[in-house]
Structure 1
């Protein structure tokens, strides 16, 4: 019987590398960090590459880690996407020219869509998709519906589904209604509504009182809309299927919806989700998965201890600096 050599590195090795690393997030750097002891058994660069190559393309590994951390019968589901910047990536799979809200222009990047579950102060990613329409033929709205269906399959019964303008199509709104869930989103100013049963008009033409107004959304049914003007003069139109919602409730839900932006900041600043320069589709997907699982560990530490993601990250660096000060490896003599 032939002995099968176990892999020299595991998923947790790579996840822990992403948690600890400050600037460089590559398989080569993971190998260097793992072989500082000059151990002949230390994993080589190829070991980490093979680790990422053998990861399944689905998101089940994330769900296996989070399913005991969430309570599907309560809380809120937030769905949004972000662009992972790849400015020098002409030959990297999954990269498309697309609009970036961060840069306010078209950039090269990977579009990551995530479902975040939140309750009280928790921010727990439970599912994600990567936009790759040239390969799978799916739009961002297709992924939105796929993730909603998967959430229902997993037993989620959210108080609200919260999402941005891009996902506010009639098809998506009806899909949420058919599941018996409530929703809150923003609408574009040209969406057609009927305020008094005399005809459809663009929502921007309505006179909307501070407490909101009930109107009929074309092809959907009755909704309640709110007009919000920000300090810089930007006008937003929020909408919900809950016709008796008050402005205070809308404001509270909008604040909850912002948590997914905090999540986006966390995976980019502390988990290196944008930093993988591998060309292959499967490696990029696996790296993104590992980065999200690394974020999960930062978040659970924050929930348990109250220590911020930033402080947790820097505590690792401080400990390394402390060890160097105590036992410096460079000297004049």
Structure 2
């Protein structure tokens, strides 16, 4: 990796507030770095999680703890007007309840004591085209599921001796296979459950096949109950969180936890840390221009994603030293650029006087 170009490009992403291009970066540097140099940097090799790990490891070793958590979640970077390929295609967006065109990115975030570090990522590729017999439309599919990717990332963190106790995720990743792997490696999971998951409230009910939908449990906010999920052999805790939606309606979230020593308040407190990956995704889109690149090939598109992730890592490292969050740092940078622009206007006016 060309370290100078890496630093220039990632700093440029942090500074920029609009579409990012190799031409604009070259202009910002008064041509000291050419458009072609930037283009070659983006297309010369494919960056991966291994490259991210080398960059994040020194900071991780400073802040990690046995009480740290791994957080898994995916996000979609919409690319409505970009040509379709194996990474820019259609994905179901659970937050919007509909299919959108874009890049689906699976992320792994480490969180401890207010610090969040990206440790790994995987772009969801859908190289296989097929005809949906029901709709008669051509669709794409991946060769590897996101749950399988999660398991690979999890095992990589263990082999890299990352310190953590809990693994947090939403209902998409709450599968028996994921539960089994995490417990086999002596870690605990805390994850959301879909409302139709079935649970037995005693070992006898489990043996007799008496299961109830999780949503039918008479649980109050913060209350937990022991039980056995259908298809999973070990006892778990189920905790309910009740919240108020933006429209004033009341909603609830049922959470499964493998650590039987916790109570409902503990489960809710630890699971609340999962929100940090939502903040991370927002920072990628708002502060690191992850969706604002006109790159056209799979390699350059993937490399831009990697460099946006590295830009957010830089912001987190700055946060450690300056005690300012990403958005405050970006606002400070933007204010400086406004002052420079205002000064330039004043100079132009003087030139016409």
Calculate the TM-score normalised by the size of structure 2.
0.85
Residue 123 (structure 2) pairs with residue 130 (structure 1): yes
Q: Report how far residue 184 of structure 1 moved.
A: 0.3
Structure 1 residues 33-62: Cα deviation after superposition (integer angstroms, max 9, x where no partner): 222xxx5xx222222111011233421221
Range moving further from structure 2, 174-183 or 50-59: 50-59
Residue 169 (structure 2) pairs with residue 176 (structure 1): no
Contact 2:65 2:112 in 1 (8 A): no
Residue ranges of structure 2 left out of the alignment (5+ in a row): 129-141
Secondary structure of 1:77's match?
Answer: strand
Structure 1 residues 1-35: Cα deviation after superposition (integer angstroms, max 9, x where no partner): xxxxx979611111111011111222232222222
Cross-structure match for 1:106: 99
Q: 1:205 aligns with which of 192, 208, 216?
A: 216
- Where in structure 2 are the equivalents of 1:139-154 lying within 5 Å? 139-154=145-160
Contact 1:92 1:278 in 2 (8 A): no
Residue 37 (structure 2) pairs with residue 47 (structure 1): yes
- Where in structure 2 are the equivalents of 1:1-333 lying within 5 Å? 10-35=5-30, 39=31, 42-71=32-61, 72-74=64-66, 75-91=68-84, 93-134=86-127, 137-196=143-202, 197-198=204-205, 199-208=210-219, 210-220=222-232, 221-231=234-244, 232-326=249-343, 328=345, 330-331=348-349, 332=352
Q: Report how far residue 127 of structure 1 moved.
A: 0.7
Decide which structure has greater helix share. 2
Secondary structure of 1:133's match?
Answer: coil
Range moving further from structure 2, 57-66 or 290-299: 57-66
Structure 1 residues 189-219: Cα deviation after superposition (integer angstroms, max 9, x where no partner): 1112211322223222333355311111223
In 2, the alpha carbon distance for the partners of 1:127 and 1:150 equals: 9
In 2, the alpha carbon distance for the partners of 1:239 and 1:108 equals: 32
Q: Report how far residue 92 of structure 1 moved.
A: 5.0
CA RMSD of aligned residues (A): 2.2
Q: Report how far residue 73 of structure 1 moved.
A: 4.6
Q: In the comparison of the two structures, how many residue pairs are matched?
A: 323
Residue ranges of structure 1 left out of the alignment (5+ in a row): 1-5
Structure 1 residues 166-208: Cα deviation after superposition (integer angstroms, max 9, x where no partner): 0001011111111110110011111122113222232223333
